[in-house]
Amino acid sequence: MNITKKNIWVILAFLVPGSLIYIYLVLYPIGQSVVLSTFKWDTLASSRFVGLDNYRSVFASQLFWKSMGNSLVFMVSTTLLQVIFGFTLGYMVYLQMRGYRFYKVVFFVPTVLPSVAVGFIWNYIYSPGMGLLKPFMAAIGQAENYIPPLSSPALALIAVIIAQTWNSCGVQVILFNSGFMNMPHEVIESATIDGASGIKMIYHMVIPLSWDIIKMVIILQTVGALRSFDLVYVMTGGGPNHSTELLPLHLFVNSFQNFNIGYGNVIAIIIFVMAMLLTMGMKKIMYKESIY
């Protein structure tokens, strides 16, 4: 249908309310953070324009680079783990062996839990007092190697990565599974008749045929990892010694605990730019028409 003069006002009435909210509460604040990033707050009430000073102090800050590094490690490892587990489990569920529905339902459970609860559960597991990890390591004869992971700068980030994977892998299982379900049956069938099976089948048929979904999962997961805040905040608060401080937490600490608002806004813009660049960049790199 085309808009005729008669109903143009109706259409506007349909578009305006939602658009206003979106512009005012989503787009405007983003623009505003660009403006705020060029101001410095001497007290909470007074601010002055300082140009690019905040950017200079961010790029000169060691803690910024540390949290950038943490974020990159976190991003790459959660994506890798979740793609591997999501693909494998999604494929196993796709094979529809007896009882597959049960597994499919179970794999998704952690995704719906509040991250505060998940963080607590994992803190509890890792804790030296009553945790599960210590007796588990004792059971496999590694008792003397146990160190409380969350208080060790070398292990804390790994511990959080494991918890994060536990928490959100279910989404990937579902997404991969739906991708496999959409592969054209005839093609799979004829491949089977031609003798493809097992690993060969996955490598030559499944991966190319579901390339779209693989691409999508990797992009979503990477950009999603950039936003991770809840679990780290609950489990470690960024410590010990900033070893688990991811970019969003760095932003939070600087703007709402140290009240360095200009600095925080620079981080906000960096996160925004990274999200955009990653999405577009990866779309380009992984651009390859899937066969169907």
Partner 1 sequence: MRIFNRLSKNKSNEESLEPNPQLEVGNKATKRLIYAFMTICALVILLPLVWLFFSSMKTQADLTVNTWGPPKEWVFSNYAKAWKGSKIDTYMLNSIYVTFLTIIITIVTTTPISFVLARYNFKAKKIIYYTIIAGMMIPIHSAIIPLYMMVGKWEMYNNLSVLGLIYGAFRISISIFILESFMSSIPKELEECAFIDGCSVWKLFMKIIVPLSKDGIVTIAVLSVLACWNELLVSMLMLNKPELKTLPIGLIGFITEFNSEYTQLAAGIMMAIIPSILFYIFAQENIEKGMIAGAVKG
The alpha carbon of residue 167 and the mean position of all alpha carbons in its chain are separated, in whole angstroms, by 11
Which residues from 86-115 bind partner 1, rule CB under 8 A?
88-89, 92-97, 102-103, 105-110, 112-115
- Whether 86 and 167 have beta carbons less than 8 Å apart is answered as no
| Cα distance between residue 78 and residue 273, in whole Å | 21
Give the DSSP H/E element, type plus range, for residue 47: strand 47-49
Other CB atoms within a 10 A radius of the CB of residue 68 amount to: 19
Encoded tokens for 193: 């008749």
Minimum distance from residue 204 beta carbon to partner 1 (Å): 14
Bridge partners of 40, per DSSP, are: 48
Coil vs helix vs strand at 233: helix
**Only segment of 25-33, 59-67, 68-76, 149-157 that touches partner 1 (CB under 8 A):** 25-33
**Residue 225, interface with partner 1 (CB under 8 A)?**
no
**Residue 251, interface with partner 1 (CB under 8 A)?**
yes
Binder among 22, 49, 59, 203 for partner 1 (CB under 8 A): 22
Minimum distance from residue 272 beta carbon to partner 1 (Å): 4
- Our CB check for partner 1 shows the closer of 41 and 73 to be 41
Encoded tokens for 263: 């600095």
Encoded tokens for 225: 């990892």
Give the DSSP H/E element, type plus range, for residue 264: helix 261-285
Minimum distance from residue 280 beta carbon to partner 1 (Å): 9
Binder among 27, 52, 76, 285 for partner 1 (CB under 8 A): 27
Binder among 7, 142, 241, 258 for partner 1 (CB under 8 A): 7
**Only segment of 52-60, 74-82, 141-149, 223-231 that touches partner 1 (CB under 8 A):** 223-231
Instruction: Please report where in the chains the tokens 């249908």 appear, as a residue.
Output: 1
Which residues from 43-82 bind partner 1, rule CB under 8 A?
none
Which is nearest to 227 in space by CA: 118, 117, 150, 115? 115
Minimum distance from residue 288 beta carbon to partner 1 (Å): 16
The DSSP 8-state label assigned to residue 149 in this structure reads G
Which residues from 167-186 bind partner 1, rule CB under 8 A?
171, 174-175, 178-179, 181-182, 185
* Interface mask toward partner 1 for 113-142; x: CB under 8 A: xxxxx--xxx-xx----xxx--x-------
Binder among 203, 256, 258, 285 for partner 1 (CB under 8 A): 256
**Residue 188, interface with partner 1 (CB under 8 A)?**
yes
Start-to-end C-alpha separation, the chain = 30
Encoded tokens for 167: 């928490």
